Amino acid sequence: MGIIYQQRAAEYKTLCYQTYNIGMFKVNEAFSSIGNLQVIKPCSTSTVI
- Greater confidence (46 vs 5) lies with 5
Domain assignment of residue 31, given as a range: 2-47
Give me the torsion for CA of 32, 38, 39, 42, rounded to 10°.
Answer: 110
Q: Is residue 40 pLDDT above 70, yes or no?
A: no
Q: Is residue 16 pLDDT above 60, yes or no?
A: yes
Rounded CA separation 32/26 (Å): 10
Whole-model pTM? 0.55
The tally of domains found in the chain comes to 1
Average pLDDT for residues 33-39, to the nearest whole number?
A: 64
- Position 48 scores a pLDDT of 47
Distance of CA 42 to CAs 3, 7, 32, Å?
A: 27, 23, 15
Going by pLDDT thresholds of 50, 70 and 90, the confidence category of residue 33 is confident
